[in-house]
């Protein structure tokens, strides 16, 4: 399901030397950087960083930061980090933005597995010397705070067991509060943030059967929709079908006048080694054009070449 | 700091055989059970359970449950479990009681380290096929829910770094809300549940310097004190000095007419391998009588003998 194309056993030392060469002297050889980093998997990138540190006593990430610029720099920086470290950085950037970029927080909390989320929180501790929860709580206020901190902090059960009776009663609770437009009600927060993802899915399915249409349709059709209903909708979409959700993020980023590189980068770097192929298929079906074609049309320069490499261009 | 006395290399197989013998035939040899289990550390108990399973294809915990009774049974059951599994059971019992026994939830959340708390949450998943957060949220309502779920769920930063300026500003925030008796205010919950324990301690110290007395004194002196103020006070005491807190739990348990075995058992089994010696010293100083003497006076039978064994009686 990954799109990344990489060789079997590249030499980390040769890669580190080639990257050093690309960064030395006048100008930077971006093509060389893309040809290496755009075609190495997580383990291989880690070994290159280690080899670079051993050879030159410098952090490759810092070297690249000083050599590259703009969207290309950001994309390379996101890409070269370990997944949990990358998500910790994405969370920190989203939390310290004004206003808080809630969709990134919801995405990471709801799409990553409980164990992955835990690794991200550990990485956040190490990198920022604080917890993600305290930063998030400090930068938000009720009732959004309660929802977002709940999503980030709860260590959800990850088993397959489903309680159908519970799904039925909690679908009814959701319906009551959605009817009253109390999207941030304590009970809505409880159900969406604390239940296992499989249990939430069972509740959402029950809702659809009992009320004729999905919760997200109810929320979308509500003219009074606000931040809370948007958070709720994003959380539900991420839990229900995150690949479909990611396709929409990419589509909106590409359709914005001038293109929004940040969300495009985020989705591509976080899913290139996982399920970007599926997102590409959904995109092609939905838009009657390949994702590569759309990216090539809407982006440019080294950034375009790098994103296309992660999308599977050889 | 532990009180438990145990031999260096007891044979798990011999122990398992002796326990089997003690449980067979008419009656049960409680003395034999105490002489073994009351003098084995965590690893040794685990090896005995494994040896028993291998020898008899039965779970020793289940065998003991069917042979023992009342407070003695409960104490042995709590003791024989791994610490994280024991805490998961304690949490589940506290959550499903009516009313919810909030002090156990606060104790475990605030006294255990972030990594220990995580292990407890994992053990809860395995044992109950649900998360502790979803059970707790289901059995409580706002504003207590928010406080307790926050305490249990946040993965606190565990480093030594302290931000003195933050401590000063958050001490002021606490003062404002305590003056208004808004103990469950969102900001109070945020500060106490999300900050690292060292940061909370710095804030509490700042409060004391700025306002002349500790927060707990302010809360204790408040005639309108309610559940929320009690939760807040317990959390602060557990974070500030959990050994002093545990001494008080034991003292109150022993001073109650008829004695409260549950809290006594809880403190003894959870701290016998850690810091029960310190609690004993605080108890002796505070009450001018040794803890062993008080326990011997207020309890009886096999339960008494077992608790005294864990307290360090040879």
Using the predicted structure, report yes or no on whether residue A291 has a pLDDT greater than 80: yes
Query: Which range (B74-83, B216-225, B268-277) has the least confidence?
Result: B216-225
Count of domains for chain A = 4
Using the predicted structure, report yes or no on whether residue A120 has a pLDDT greater than 80: yes
Structural domain includes residue B76: no
Structural domain includes residue A77: no
User: Of B212, B240, B268, which closes a domain?
Assistant: B240
pLDDT band at B184 (very low <50, low <70, confident <90, very high): confident
Q: Are residues B61 and B112 in the same domain?
A: no
Alpha helices of B129-256 — where are they, by DSSP H?
132-138, 144-153, 164-179, 186-194, 197-211, 215-220, 227-240, 242-255
Using the predicted structure, report yes or no on whether residue B181 has a pLDDT greater than 90: no
Q: Kindly state the helix (H) or strand (E) to which residue B97 belongs, with its residue range.
A: none
Q: Are residues A168 and A228 in the same domain?
A: yes
The answer, for A146 touching chain B at a CB cutoff of 8 Å, is: yes
How far apart are the C-alpha atoms of A45 and A16, rounded to whole Å?
10
Q: Are residues B223 and B260 in the same domain?
A: no
Q: Are residues B106 and B63 in the same domain?
A: no
pLDDT band at A80 (very low <50, low <70, confident <90, very high): very high
Q: Identify which of A74, A55, A64, A63 has the alpha carbon closest to the alpha carbon of residue A12.
A: A55
pLDDT in tens, A19-32: 999 998 788 999 99
Q: What is the mean pLDDT of residues B9-30?
A: 93
Query: Which range (A69-78, B121-130, B135-144, B180-189) has the least confidence?
Result: B180-189
The answer, for B121 touching chain A at a CB cutoff of 8 Å, is: yes
Residues of A with Cβ-Cβ distance to B123 under 8 angstroms: none
Average pLDDT over chain A, rounded to an integer: 94
Using the predicted structure, report yes or no on whether residue B223 has a pLDDT greater than 70: no
Residue linked to tokens 């003395």: B31
Contact criterion met (CB < 8 Å) for B190 and A153: no
In chain A, % of residues over pLDDT 70: 98
Q: How far A93 CA lies from chain B's nearest CA (Å)? A: 19
Using the predicted structure, report yes or no on whether residue A222 has a pLDDT greater than 80: no
Q: Are residues A187 and A230 in the same domain?
A: yes
Contact criterion met (CB < 8 Å) for A194 and B137: yes
Structure tokens at B122: 């994992």
Q: How far A153 CA lies from chain B's nearest CA (Å)? A: 5
Q: Are residues B233 and B253 in the same domain?
A: no
Can you give the CATH number for the domain in which B92 is found? 1.10.220.10
Q: What is the mean pLDDT of residues A171-176?
A: 94
User: Of A153, A185, A207, which closes a domain?
Assistant: A153
Using the predicted structure, report yes or no on whether residue A227 has a pLDDT greater than 80: yes
Q: Are residues A248 and A229 in the same domain?
A: no
pLDDT band at A125 (very low <50, low <70, confident <90, very high): very high
Q: CB–CB of B213/B175 below 8 Å?
A: no
B 228-247: CB under 8 A from A = none
Q: Are residues B53 and B27 in the same domain?
A: yes
Q: CB–CB of B233/B219 below 8 Å?
A: yes
Q: What is the mean pLDDT of residues A260-276?
A: 97
Q: Are residues A170 and A186 in the same domain?
A: yes
A156: left (phi over 0), alpha (psi -120 to 50) or beta: beta
Q: How far A224 CA lies from chain B's nearest CA (Å)? A: 25
Judge residue B292's burial from the number of C-beta atoms within 10 Å of its C-beta, 0-12 exposed, 13-18 middle, 19 or more buried: middle
Containing structural domain, residue B200: 164-240
Using the predicted structure, report yes or no on whether residue A177 has a pLDDT greater than 90: no
Instruction: Judge if the upstream peptide bond of residue B155 is cis by omega within 30 degrees of 0.
Output: no
pLDDT in tens, B33-63: 999 999 999 999 999 999 999 999 999 999 9
Which residues are CB-contacts of A162 (< 8 A; sequence separation ≥ 6)?
A: A198, A199, A202
Residues of A with Cβ-Cβ distance to B121 under 8 angstroms: 155
Contact criterion met (CB < 8 Å) for A129 and B161: yes
Structural domain includes residue A120: yes
The answer, for B134 touching chain A at a CB cutoff of 8 Å, is: yes
Using the predicted structure, report yes or no on whether residue A314 has a pLDDT greater than 80: no
The answer, for B158 touching chain A at a CB cutoff of 8 Å, is: yes
Q: What is the mean pLDDT of residues A62-68?
A: 92
pLDDT band at A200 (very low <50, low <70, confident <90, very high): very high
Probe site for chain A from B185, B186, B194 (most A CB atoms < 10 A): B194
Structural domain includes residue B4: no
Q: CB–CB of A177/A171 below 8 Å?
A: no
Residues of A with Cβ-Cβ distance to B120 under 8 angstroms: none
Q: Identify which of B99, B90, B93 has the alpha carbon closest to the alpha carbon of residue B226.
A: B99
Question: Can you give the pLDDT at residue A225?
Answer: 61
CB-closest option in A125, A149, A157 to B129: A157
Q: What is the mean pLDDT of residues A231-255?
A: 96
pLDDT in tens, A41-57: 999 999 999 999 999 99
Structural domain includes residue B140: yes
The answer, for B142 touching chain A at a CB cutoff of 8 Å, is: yes
Probe site for chain B from A121, A126, A157, A189 (most B CB atoms < 10 A): A157
Residues of A with Cβ-Cβ distance to B146 under 8 angstroms: 146, 186
CB-closest option in A121, A141, A161 to B129: A161
Contact criterion met (CB < 8 Å) for B196 and A138: no
Residue linked to tokens 């992955």: A116
Q: How far B56 CA lies from chain A's nearest CA (Å)? A: 31
Instruction: Judge if the upstream peptide bond of residue A250 is cis by omega within 30 degrees of 0.
Output: no
Chain centre distance of CA B6: 22
Which residues are CB-contacts of A131 (< 8 A; sequence separation ≥ 6)?
A: A121, A124, A125, B154, B155, B156, B157, B194, B196
Q: How far B172 CA lies from chain A's nearest CA (Å)? A: 15
Contact criterion met (CB < 8 Å) for B196 and A130: yes
User: Of B153, B188, B204, which closes a domain?
Assistant: B153
Which backbone phi and psi does B25 adopt, to 5 degrees? 75, -170
Structural domain includes residue A29: yes
Q: CB–CB of A235/A110 below 8 Å?
A: yes
> Is the model more confident about A85 or about A257?
A85
Annotate B16-41 with b (16+ C-beta within 10 A) or e (fewer): bebbeebbeeeebbbeebbebbbbbe
CB-closest option in B153, B194, B195 to A155: B153
Using the predicted structure, report yes or no on whether residue B224 has a pLDDT greater than 70: no
Q: How far A157 CA lies from chain B's nearest CA (Å)? A: 5
> Is the model more confident about B95 or about B177?
B95
Q: What is the mean pLDDT of residues B225-236?
A: 88
Alpha helices of B59-143 — where are they, by DSSP H?
60-67, 70-80, 83-96, 102-111, 114-128, 132-138
What is the value of ipTM here, to two decimals?
A: 0.91
The answer, for B28 touching chain A at a CB cutoff of 8 Å, is: no
* CA-based nearest residue in chain A for residue B127: A157
Structural domain includes residue A1: no
Structure tokens at B106: 């606060």
DSSP-derived secondary structure for B121-165:
HHHHHHHHSS-HHHHHHHT--TTHHHHHHHHHH------S---HH
Question: Can you give the pLDDT at residue A25?
Answer: 78
* CA-based nearest residue in chain B for residue A135: B194
Q: How far B67 CA lies from chain A's nearest CA (Å)? A: 33
CB-closest option in A121, A138, A158 to B155: A121
Structural domain includes residue A129: yes
Contact criterion met (CB < 8 Å) for B134 and A150: no
Question: Can you give the pLDDT at residue B182?
Answer: 81
Q: Are residues A96 and A137 in the same domain?
A: yes
CB-closest option in B122, B134, B158 to A195: B134
Q: CB–CB of B22/B35 below 8 Å?
A: no
Q: How far A131 CA lies from chain B's nearest CA (Å)? A: 5
Q: How far A241 CA lies from chain B's nearest CA (Å)? A: 22
């Amino acid at each position: 399901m990954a799109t990344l194309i990489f060789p079997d056993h590249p030499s980390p030392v040769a890669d580190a030397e080639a990257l050093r060469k690309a960064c030395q002297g006048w100008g930077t050889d971006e093509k060389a950087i893309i040809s290496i980093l755009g075609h190495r998997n997580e383990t291989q990138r880690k070994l290159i960083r280690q080899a670079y540190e051993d050879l030159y006593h410098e952090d490759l990430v810092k070297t690249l930061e000083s050599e590259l610029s703009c969207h290309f720099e950001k994309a390379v920086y996101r890409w070269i980090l370990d997944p949990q470290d990358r998500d910790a950085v994405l969370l920190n950037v989203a939390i310290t933005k004004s206003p808080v970029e809630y969709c990134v927080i919801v995405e990471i909390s709801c799409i990553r597995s409980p164990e992955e989320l835990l690794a991200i929180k550990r990485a956040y501790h190490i990198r920022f010397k604080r917890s993600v929860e305290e930063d998030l709580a400090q930068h938000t206020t009720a009732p959004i705070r309660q929802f977002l901190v709940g999503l980030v902090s709860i260590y959800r059960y990850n088993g397959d067991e489903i309680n159908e009776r519970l799904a039925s009663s909690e679908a009814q609770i959701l319906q009551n509060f959605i009817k009253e437009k109390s999207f941030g009600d304590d009970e809505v927060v409880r159900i969406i943030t604390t239940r296992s993802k499989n249990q939430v899915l069972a509740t959402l399915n029950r809702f659809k059967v009992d009320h004729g249409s999905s919760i997200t349709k109810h929320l979308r059709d509500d003219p009074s929709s606000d931040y809370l209903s948007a958070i709720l909708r994003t959380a539900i979409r991420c839990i229900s079908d995150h690949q479909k959700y990611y396709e929409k993020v990419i589509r909106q980023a590409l359709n914005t006048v001038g293109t929004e590189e940040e969300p495009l980068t985020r989705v591509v770097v976080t899913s290139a080694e996982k399920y970007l192929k599926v997102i590409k298929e959904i995109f092609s079906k939905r838009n009657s054009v390949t994702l590569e074609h759309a990216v090539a049309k809407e982006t440019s320069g080294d950034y375009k070449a790098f994103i296309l490499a992660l999308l599977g261009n050889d």
